[in-house]
Structure 1
Amino acid sequence: MTTTVSDGLPAPQRYGAILTIALGLTVSVLDGAIANVALPTIAQDLHASPASSIWIVNAYQLAITISLLSLSSLGEIFGYRRIYMIGLVVFSLTSLACALSDSLATLTFARILQGFGAASIMSVNVALVRIIYPQRFLGRGMGINALIVAVSSAAGPTVAAAVLSFANWPWLFAINLPIGLVAFCLAAKFLPANPVKTSGQKFDFISSLMNALTFGLLISAISGFAQGQNRLLILAEVIVLVIVGWFFVRRQLNKTSPLLPVDLLRIPIFTMSLCTSMCSFAAQMLAFVSLPFFLQNTLGLNAVETGLLLTPWPLATMVMAPIAGRLVERYHAGILGGIGLVVFSAGLYSLALLPDHPSHLNIIWRMIVCGAGFGLFQSPNNHTIVSSAPRSRSGGASGMLGTARLLGQSTGAAMVALMFNLFSAHGTHASLVLAGSLALAGAIVSVMRMTQKSVSQQKV
């Protein structure tokens, strides 16, 4: 189906299109976390040190972060559907390459290419949701999208534990191939084509390079500082980051459709929503990275038990996100997001107050509170980010939404390392307190959005 639609797809085609988005987004987000559990096994099998094996995870995340905005720009020029389908092909083939890798070098290289495929999928998925759903039902579409991202991000350890219980690590990557092929066939049949710009807009390669350097150096500097790396090296990275970033932003100010959407960042409610998104995902990552250390090292649980105790979080998000997607059709996203983040913060603080030997039930109800609060916040927030941007800039909004999530996750993971370095005996406790404080700060910003124009009053 290649016809362009002005206000969403008819119901039968809409369901097929959203299934396509769900499949592609699930595997691309899941692969960012699924390898964590298998790192010790992969390192041993490939005769790599634990420190060097971290690149199996970092290479994937870094490739996505530095290319997300560039690929969303390509989506606005050549069409979201085309970029999405190319991403599915690249992601599926490189997943097979990961499964067949016989050394750390080949696996890391395959993960970089796989990250570019995942970035193609993530960069335009929200823009596609916007043309799949009628405007009056956009909140429901964003609810489903937020549900997929949140659950996929949280379910990595559980899924990995399940796969590794009956198969070896290459199957963590090999299972992506049939899923990707099914998603590609569904995309060819159900995804609509969006209007491609005819104003002569060309892809800005110089801005794309500046974008990669800016975000790559930002993540490298944050991670290096948190892990206690050489201060002179970090200082050099920051200096180069400031110089490149300054010229990058200056270049974008002169563009009608900039790769870094400074035009959208001038919309207060858009920028405030991005800030709350970064706070929420940083808080989520602080909890997800630090809690396994408490559950395994302090309570003596194994990897499977740890994964099962973390599972109530994504399950609660799974229930709440679609409900929040419908509520945003009636209530302001600022108040919904504020309530959600306050609940999320309460859950994180309650985890920080866990006794030394808690029962499983004592952990589970806290996980449910965190997941419910996160789900109540995420759908309305994503809806606001997308609907506050003009339709012609949906790709830029989609790219910034994904970039905010990845920056939040990367910052959160780095802050866990910092907390463990500063509070070696109470690293998890410190991480959870910081996570709760970030969620509370996000709640304040979310409520402040109510002073801005409502989503329905924005130009779309």
Structure 2
Amino acid sequence: MESEQGLPTPRRYWAIVVIALGITLSVLDSAIANVALPTIARDLRASASASIWIVNAYQLSITISLLPLASLGERIGYRRVYIAGLMLFTVASLGCALSNSLGMLAATRVVQGFGAAGIMSVNTALVRAIYPPSMLGRGVAINAMVVAAASALGPTVASAVLAVAHWPWLFAINVPIGILAAAGAMKALPPNVLREGAYDYVSAVMNAFVFGLTIITIDGAGHGESKVWIAVQALAVVVVGYGFVRRQLTQSAPLLPVDLLKIPLFALSVATSVCSFSAQMLAFVSLPFLFQNTLGLTQVQTGLLITPWPLAIVVIAPIAGVLSDRYPAGILGGIGLAMLTLGLAMLATLGSHPSAFDIGWRMALCGAGFGAFQAPNNRQLLSCAPRERSGGASGMLGTARLTGQTLGAALVALIFDIAPINGPTVALGVAAAFSATASCVSLLRLRQPRRAVV
């Protein structure tokens, strides 16, 4: 059974390797699909706009199922949800590789997304069970480092595979890795103390409706859909969302963790996460347009110039994780996000003929700032929740990240529509504003008493 002192070595090392493998699969599969979209669309004779569903189906199914699966993990065990997610992801990957039509591929991507949600929903809850409280920051930092590395390697892996094989192999390579990770998870991952009580299926359905329709509404607003239809969707979200929140307030362990949001440190950490990931996505979506359309760089040059950002996270995240076990997340996050704000502002004010070095060090500054924020923020969010509510905290962490990323991507589309000429520069300025807001929110945590890890 789960111990507050985590797992003994060497089992702890095997467990974190399994966690890293699962997260790598789920993150890589998002990145490689983006790169392969033109090839897949051409091969399946689908339009470019229709092929976007290969990405959207995956993201949407993750978003609507993160919190329900996190809540399920508190009742049947994080280990079971994680292993089931890995198995489902692996089987769906095989289905993706065998798909011969856009409809079939999109459908299997939905299933794959549910598997990825099983991995992501309880990932950090398992990290908390694996590491003792005094080393929790290091465990969270390893997670952040793996995510950054997978994000950085995604386009490279996709390009390498497509250079020697057909696109189905992008999904087929997941199968042996998924089988290996699932087998390791059965042996290495710890069980947790289960929460009693029936699972709230009604809340799970309401959660899916609210988050799913919210994402669709935001995306539709960013892509210029009918204002009347957007208003109808937004009204539906508000009405059902009100009922959803009212229902959660009556639960002892709600699916939407409103009980945890009553903890100031938890709520501030969630707000910091949403704002920071909005800033990151605003930058990630707009920077390729700045480099290629404004500065006239090639796709290869763009890929190389974006790389310093995730590489800096890989370097800084472990250091920030160790520091977060000793110093408040409020100050570490505040400093990191201030660095991110400065880097974004300097990218927004690049001259018309910057050198690769001028761009590279600004990108590295952004990555270093984001890396300095992420691990301490995630540790704070986890540690201020009661241990038996680690699942809810883990699910909320993933939901905050996806919400911020979706908001950032939608804002880029809206900005590009309003300012087609200077869109990338404006988007980077907005990203800097979001990052500055996140830094201020992070510093507000210094006014709250620190909660011990329980």
TM-score class, shorter-chain normalisation, is over 0.9
- Provide the residue aligned with 1:82 in structure 2: 80
Distance 1:159 1:291, change over 3 A: farther
2-side partners of 1:24 and 1:406: how far apart? 18
**What are the equivalent positions in structure 2 for 1:344-383 lying under 5 Å apart?**
344-383=340-379
Report how far residue 129 of structure 1 moved: 0.3
Q: Is the 8 A contact 1:86 1:120 kept in 2?
A: yes
1-side partners of 2:290 and 2:40: how far apart? 23
Report how far residue 64 of structure 1 moved: 0.3
- Provide the residue aligned with 2:53 in structure 1: 55
**What are the equivalent positions in structure 2 for 1:131-150 lying under 5 Å apart?**
131-150=129-148
- Provide the residue aligned with 1:249 in structure 2: 245
- Provide the residue aligned with 1:7 in structure 2: 5
Report how far residue 369 of structure 1 moved: 0.4
- Give the partner amino acid of 2:431: A
Q: Is the 8 A contact 1:72 1:123 kept in 2?
A: yes
- Give the partner amino acid of 1:230: S
- Provide the residue aligned with 1:120 in structure 2: 118
**What are the equivalent positions in structure 2 for 1:255-334 lying under 5 Å apart?**
255-334=251-330
Q: Is the 8 A contact 1:60 1:114 kept in 2?
A: yes
Structure 1 residue matching 2:146: 3-state secondary structure: helix
163-172 vs 417-426, which moves further: 163-172
1-side partners of 2:32 and 2:449: how far apart? 40
Task: Tell me if 1:234 matches 2:230.
Answer: yes
- Give the partner amino acid of 1:17: A
1-side partners of 2:283 and 2:111: how far apart? 29
2-side partners of 1:151 and 1:344: how far apart? 18
RMSD: 1.3
Task: Tell me if 1:214 matches 2:200.
Answer: no
Map Cα deviations across residues 279-298 of structure 1 (whole Å, 9 max, x no partner): 11111111111111222333
Q: Percent identity?
A: 59
Report how far residue 234 of structure 1 moved: 0.4
Structure 2 residue matching 1:11: 3-state secondary structure: coil
Q: Is the 8 A contact 1:325 1:380 kept in 2?
A: yes
Q: Is the 8 A contact 2:309 2:366 kept in 1?
A: yes
Q: Among residues 181, 189, 196, which one is paired with 1:191 in the alignment?
A: 189
- Give the partner amino acid of 1:215: F
1-side partners of 2:180 and 2:47: how far apart? 36
Q: Is the 8 A contact 2:152 2:311 kept in 1?
A: no
Q: Is the 8 A contact 2:218 2:410 kept in 1?
A: yes
Report how far residue 438 of structure 1 moved: 0.4
- Provide the residue aligned with 2:28 in structure 1: 30
Q: Is the 8 A contact 1:158 1:308 kept in 2?
A: no
Q: Is the 8 A contact 2:81 2:118 kept in 1?
A: yes
Report how far residue 263 of structure 1 moved: 0.3
**What are the equivalent positions in structure 2 for 1:62-101 lying under 5 Å apart?**
62-101=60-99
- Provide the residue aligned with 1:163 in structure 2: 161
Report how far residue 151 of structure 1 moved: 3.4
Q: Is the 8 A contact 1:382 1:401 kept in 2?
A: yes
Report how far residue 266 of structure 1 moved: 0.3
Q: Is the 8 A contact 1:60 1:112 kept in 2?
A: yes
2-side partners of 1:172 and 1:9: how far apart? 34
Task: Tell me if 1:45 matches 2:49.
Answer: no
In structure 1, runs of 5+ residues without a counterpart are: none
2-side partners of 1:264 and 1:134: how far apart? 22
Map Cα deviations across residues 302-359 of structure 1 (whole Å, 9 max, x no partner): 4333222211111100010010001112211100000000001111111111222222
- Give the partner amino acid of 1:312: P
425-434 vs 379-388, which moves further: 425-434
1-side partners of 2:426 and 2:392: how far apart? 36
TM-score w.r.t. the length of structure 1 is 0.96
Map Cα deviations across residues 114-143 of structure 1 (whole Å, 9 max, x no partner): 000000000000000001001111111111
Q: Is the 8 A contact 1:146 1:382 kept in 2?
A: no
- Give the partner amino acid of 1:137: M
Structure 2 residue matching 1:33: 3-state secondary structure: helix
Q: Is the 8 A contact 1:161 1:303 kept in 2?
A: no
Structure 1 residue matching 2:164: 3-state secondary structure: coil
1-side partners of 2:152 and 2:262: how far apart? 32
- Provide the residue aligned with 2:400 in structure 1: 404
Map Cα deviations across residues 49-86 of structure 1 (whole Å, 9 max, x no partner): 11111111111100000000000011000000010000
Map Cα deviations across residues 370-408 of structure 1 (whole Å, 9 max, x no partner): 110000000000000000000000000000000000001
- Give the partner amino acid of 2:380: T
- Give the partner amino acid of 1:355: G
